[in-house]
């Protein structure tokens, strides 16, 4: 996509959609990894954790570009869509951390069966 010919609002909107998309993918991978762990499929859970982290890194990359722009005193227009994107990213980060704890709990449960 040609970002040079887009308005600031369009660029912010594109960044927001990138964050929402990648954060949503990350959350879904993390959720699936817990489901796999619940069924004692720990290798599959690990693969899904890695995919989740890859998606989370993509979302972070989009967010970092925005933060750098604002730090450089560029005028960043307010966008409710970007607020929504940040919410998705926050939840994906949180659930990524929690999913590791859940997987460890499932490992203990299955170990004692």
Binding residues for Mg(2+): 87
Q: Which phi and psi (to 5°) does residue 77 adopt?
A: -65, 140
Q: Is 60 assigned a catalytic role?
A: no
CA–CA dist 97, 6 (Å, integer): 36
CB neighbour class for 48 (10 Å; exposed up to 12, middle 13-18, buried from 19): buried
Number of H helices, E strands in the chain: 3, 0
Q: Which phi and psi (to 5°) does residue 75 adopt?
A: -75, 115
CA–CA dist 4, 52 (Å, integer): 31
Choose the catalytic residue: 60, 84, 88, 110. Answer: 84
The catalytic residue positions are: 84
């Amino acid at each position: 996509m040609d970002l040079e010919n887009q308005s600031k609002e369009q660029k912010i909107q594109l960044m927001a959609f990138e964050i929402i998309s990648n954060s949503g993918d990350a959350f879904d991978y993390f959720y699936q990894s817990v489901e796999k762990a619940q069924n004692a499929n720990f290798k599959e859970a690990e693969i899904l954790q890695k995919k989740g982290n890859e998606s989370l890194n993509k979302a972070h990359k989009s967010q970092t570009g925005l933060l750098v722009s604002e730090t450089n005193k560029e005028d960043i227009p307010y966008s409710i869509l970007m607020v929504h994107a940040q919410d998705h990213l926050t939840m994906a980060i949180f659930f990524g951390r929690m999913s590791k704890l859940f997987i460890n709990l499932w490992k203990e449960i299955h170990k004692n069966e």
